[in-house]
Amino acid sequence: MSDQSVNRRPIKVIGHRNPDTDSICSAIAYSNLKNILDPDRPCKPCRAGLINRETEFVLDYFKVPLPQLYTDVSPHIRDVDIRPAPGVDGEMSLRRAWMTMRDQELDTLCVVDGGRELKGVITVKDVATANMDGIDPNTLRQARTSYQNILDILNGTVLVGDVTGKTVEGRVIIGAGSAEQIENAVSPGDIAIVSSRSESQLAALEMDAGCIIVCNESKVPRTICMLAEEKGCMIITTSMSTYAAGQIISQAVPIRHFMSTGNLLTFTLHTPVESATKVMATVRFRYFPVLDEDGKYIGVVSRRNMLNLHKKQLILVDHNEKSQAVEGIEEAEVLEIIDHHRIGAFETDGPVYFRNVPVGCTCTIVYQMYRENGVDISPTVAGLLLSAILSDTLMFRSPTCTSADERAARELAPLAGVDLEAYADDMFAHGGDVSGKTAAEVFNGDYKIFTSGDIRFGVGQGIYMTEKNRKAAQALVGPYLSEALAKQRLDYIFYMFTDARHSSTELLTAGSGAEELIAKAFGVRPEGGVITLPGIVSRKKQMIPRLISTIKLEQE
């Protein structure tokens, strides 16, 4: 891939794992803004996980395509400079293969068919070995070598016959002796390499040679040409000497006869660079074939290419903690962070644009950036921004909601062409419907992992407008918490089932000591396995700060 194509790789704008509506909508809206402000550095919205039903409703309502899924942004083969070395035909001669390697400074050629399917590889070592072992007079016949290859490497001219589609059927005999010696050596179908002596040419004809190669650009008598035509024997002339022709003719063998075909070491565009590097270290090959998504050959990579790695460039929205980021984040290049959460432990290789504002929603910040830059907001973008603000602030009921959030939402609603309250009711109703979902799907709908000291814990939240939906979600997720705790190797899991209409949360927990931690943080104990937290609706502002403070006190 050329440098120009690399530079056009879009910057990925991506939210946290288990994305919520704000994570998805801020990625789409901010990508749109960036593309308007700087079209030479294209951005595209992405997601790090499956979307929930609320977000699905929003995207369907405003007819916005689902962002591309990226579960891992660690470097893959597509992120290195793939050398677009053309595939070659298996009928290519050994000599032509060596000349190609020499001219292109390659030591490996990839053999493909007309559909770019990889058939084998041949290295300069294979060519050298074949050339050194090329003393068997039967090799051309055994390899079904085409006469076209012979004509090509001898730079010859067809004097009699037609080489099209014909392959060698006999041995190679160098007729340097007398006519009698030629008669004793040549069998029907053989290739006889002879000099200008007409008696040698005639002797080869009388023994029914399949082809006579006349060297030194010697004249061939017309009578011999006529006889050759009658017998169906081809005559090829070349400027080479008998010695040179005899030396080089074995190099007419097609490379398919010597290429490697089994257990080929290939990479795809999706092969992780780390895996490819390990494979390369175990063998002595320098170049390795690369296949595209359809399994078609597109080029080769070498160890040196791995040094010119192009890290994926990211803009993070709605999060700034490594534990919440997409897999492989440490191997990517983070350019910007747009967020409204607490600042966690996240290191970058260089300075980044970091905008963190204490508002209720990332999309409120994105809305402000549209206004600051004087960019008009389309009805679609307005609808996305509005949906995220309503979702994150529970339609202004959450304590995280600020005047900036509500002001932005009320300005966006007419731009989106919706009635704010009616649209919010529809959105929350669709988001709270868990029918047909598995426990894992509901659990991961809006779930994040946090770290405080040596303690790692997860906090999930579902927001419901009806008690029916809320109770159904609890019945699904409750038994799944212990399984999720073990899979993720966490100390605790807390799951909030929030009643948006009455501003309260019913909490389920998993992990030894989780209930005691909640008791110390909120002064409430479970009743019937459920902890009721009146007035608690915000994970970010009400739940996480108290949990972290309590954990720190426990660790002192």
Query: Tell me: the pLDDT tens digits for 442-451?
Result: 999 889 999 9
484 token code pair? 């999720």
d(C-alpha 301, C-alpha 182), whole Å: 51
195 phi and psi angles, rounded to 5 deg: -95, -160
Query: Tell me: the pLDDT tens digits for 187-211?
Result: 999 999 998 888 889 999 999 999 9
Mean per-residue pLDDT, 84-98: 94
Give the chain's domains with CATH numbers: 3-75+312-431 (3.90.1640.10), 146-252 (3.40.1390.20), 439-555 (3.10.310.20)
Mean per-residue pLDDT, 179-185: 85
Q: Is the CA virtual torsion 536, 541, 542, 544 positive or negative? A: positive
267 token code pair? 């990479």
8 A C-beta contact, residue 467 and residue 432: no
Query: SS in 3 state form for 457-502?
Result: EEEEEEEECCHHHHHHHHHHHHHHHHHHHHHHCCCEEEEEEEECCC
Question: What DSSP designation does 289 have?
Answer: E
Helix (H, G, I), strand (E, B) or coil at 189: coil
For residue 176, the model assigns a pLDDT of: 61
275 token code pair? 């895996």
Mean per-residue pLDDT, 273-294: 90
Tell me the β-bridge partners of 90.
none
Query: Tell me: the pLDDT tens digits for 248-278?
Result: 999 999 999 999 998 889 999 999 998 999 9
Query: Tell me: the pLDDT tens digits for 125-167?
Result: 999 888 887 678 899 999 999 999 999 999 999 999 999 999 9
DSSP 514-542: HHHHHHHHHS---BTTBEEEET---IIII
d(C-alpha 88, C-alpha 266), whole Å: 16
Question: What contacts 207, CB < 8 A, 6 or more positions away?
Answer: 182, 183, 186, 187, 188, 190
8 A C-beta contact, residue 385 and residue 25: yes
Q: What is the model's pTM?
A: 0.68
d(C-alpha 19, C-alpha 260), whole Å: 47
For residue 2, the model assigns a pLDDT of: 38
Query: Tell me: the pLDDT tens digits for 15-58?
Result: 999 899 999 999 999 999 999 999 999 999 999 999 999 999 99
For residue 386, the model assigns a pLDDT of: 98
- The more confident residue out of 298 and 429 is 298
Which among 511, 536, 409 is positioned nearest to 461, based on CA atoms?
536
**Hey, how many other C-beta atoms are within 10 angstroms of the C-beta on 229?**
14
- Average confidence score pLDDT of the chain: 92
Query: Which of 49-63, 169-183, 298-312 comes out lowest in average pLDDT?
Result: 169-183
- 535, amino acid identity: G
8 A C-beta contact, residue 446 and residue 15: no
Which among 412, 479, 487 is positioned nearest to 442, based on CA atoms?
479
For residue 234, the model assigns a pLDDT of: 96
300 phi and psi angles, rounded to 5 deg: -130, 155
Residue 310 CB burial class (10 angstroms; 0-12, 13-18, ≥19): middle
Question: What contacts 378, CB < 8 A, 6 or more positions away?
Answer: none
Is the pLDDT score of 3 beyond 60? no
The radius of gyration computed from the CA coordinates of the chain, to the nearest angstrom, equals 37
Mean per-residue pLDDT, 377-398: 96
Question: pLDDT confidence of 328, banded at 50, 70, 90?
Answer: very high
Taking CB atoms within 8 Å and a gap of at least 24, the contacts of 483-487 are: 484/440, 484/443, 484/458, 484/510, 485/458, 485/510, 485/511
Q: How many CA atoms lie within 13 A of 320 on its CB side?
A: 21
For residue 323, the model assigns a pLDDT of: 86
